[in-house]
Amino acid sequence: MAAAAPYRVALVAFPGIRAFDVSVITEVWGTDRTDRGAPAFDLRRVGADDTTAVPMRGGLSLHPDRTLGWLDRADLVVIPGLDDHLTPAPAPVLEALRHTHARGTTLAALCGGAFTLAQAGLLDGRRAITHWNLVDLLRTRHPHVTVVPDALFIEDDNIWTAAGTAAGIDLCLHLVRLSHGAEAAATIARSMVTAPFRTGTQAQFIEHPTPRTDRDADALAAVREHALSHLHEPLTVADLAARAGMSPRSFARHFTAATGTTPLRWLLDQRIAAAQKLLERTDLPMPEVARQAGFGSEVTMRQHFASRLATSPRAYRTAFTTVSAAGSSSPIAR
């Protein structure tokens, strides 16, 4: 059987793009990890001119290896953020992005890359996010954009935008997860020594006074670690609060302040992630997947998959199964 064609990713390059975002895109899609079971990617650096280096801050430069015409072949187009968020993108780049979106290709912008999409008019009437410190600027410069202030990344009409810096990593890994499954994203995340996904919003990163003590943070970290190793048990927020030595109300307040999400939502996110791994790596029957992930019943698991992932566990398994491992043990504690 012939190997599947590599997934084609285009990094849009023009003067002013951020070296950090270029590095993130290159690390996720430009590194060959097929020996570890990751998919094959074909990352191309696409510019208006493939003979001229694109300068970046810090004395760096990027040499495009394809012209904008290659965007017609791409499965995904990623726009890095900008050093100066008001940097005008070249007119041919903006036109190519409009054409690419009209073709139905997925577009993703990291951090201030949302400004480039806004310049192209692609965010008018759509929801978008950028770094929390740039939210007001985006609203002012592009009033027809519905700016969401507290997400890590969001999608609207096949256009993805991400909050600042590290949220670009979150979005890139999420896009891998959508196209190739949770295990592929986890493989890349392990190689990058980063979390496969983070829950919460960028509200947790907005500047606040420094806490007077780290005791609560340490207690919460220990509670989260305990929960991850006991997902198969019927954990409740009250159980976790008791383990932290707090009242449920105080625990919920401290947990939300530290993570940007509620304890219940965080616990549900971890259960869904555990179920995704089981569906991908094993052929365990659905009731057993639900039990090991802590949902209690297949019906409950199916309801949460529908509301959070817009799919069913069976459809997810069909789309993203990587191995058939009858009788294999749960991967949750690996």
**CA separation for the pair 2, 285 (Å, rounded):** 31
Determine the average pLDDT of the residues in 257-276.
85
Q: What percent of the chain has pLDDT over 90?
A: 48
Least confident of 38-42, 210-214, 276-280, 305-309: 210-214
Please tell me what DSSP assigns to residue 328. Answer: P
Segment 198-208, tens digit of pLDDT: 554 444 333 33
Please tell me what DSSP assigns to residue 82. Answer: B
**Confidence at residue 318, expressed as pLDDT on a 0 to 100 scale:** 84
Angle at which helices 237-244 and 248-259 cross, to 10°: 90
Determine the average pLDDT of the residues in 6-11.
97
Residue 286 has pLDDT above 50, yes or no: yes
Residue 333 has pLDDT above 50, yes or no: no
Residue 232 has pLDDT above 80, yes or no: yes
Closest CA to 273 of 239, 320, 240: 320
Least confident of 81-90, 228-237, 256-265: 256-265
Segment 119-177, tens digit of pLDDT: 999 999 999 999 888 999 999 999 999 998 777 888 999 999 998 778 889 899 989 98
**Confidence at residue 3, expressed as pLDDT on a 0 to 100 scale:** 64
**Confidence at residue 307, expressed as pLDDT on a 0 to 100 scale:** 84
Question: Which structure tokens are listed for 134?
Answer: 């740039």
**Confidence at residue 210, expressed as pLDDT on a 0 to 100 scale:** 36
**CA separation for the pair 89, 93 (Å, rounded):** 6
Starting at the edge strand found earlier in the chain, the sheet holding 66-67 runs 66-67, 41-47, 7-12, 76-79, 106-109, 159-162, 153-156
Calculate the average pLDDT of the chain.
85
Sign of CA dihedral 140, 141, 144, 145: negative
Q: Any idea how long the chain is?
A: 334
Question: Which structure tokens are listed for 69?
Answer: 């015409």
Segment 21-60, tens digit of pLDDT: 999 999 999 999 999 889 999 999 999 998 899 999 988 9
**CA separation for the pair 193, 158 (Å, rounded):** 28
Question: Which structure tokens are listed for 310?
Answer: 């817009």
Closest CA to 202 of 120, 130, 139: 130
Please, are residues 265 and 256 in contact by the beta-carbon 8 Å criterion? no
**Confidence at residue 63, expressed as pLDDT on a 0 to 100 scale:** 95
Segment 66-123, tens digit of pLDDT: 999 999 999 999 999 999 988 899 999 999 999 999 999 999 999 999 999 999 999 9
**Confidence at residue 65, expressed as pLDDT on a 0 to 100 scale:** 94
Sign of CA dihedral 156, 159, 164, 169: positive
Least confident of 16-20, 93-97, 159-163, 216-220: 216-220
Closest CA to 149 of 170, 127, 167: 127
Closest CA to 301 of 319, 316, 280: 316
Closest CA to 158 of 97, 107, 124: 107
Q: Binning pLDDT at 50, 70 and 90, where does residue 62 land?
A: very high
In this prediction the pTM is 0.68
Report phi then psi at 41, rounded to 5. Answer: -120, 150
Query: What is the signed CA dihedral for 85, 88, 90, 95, rounded to 10 degrees?
Result: 90
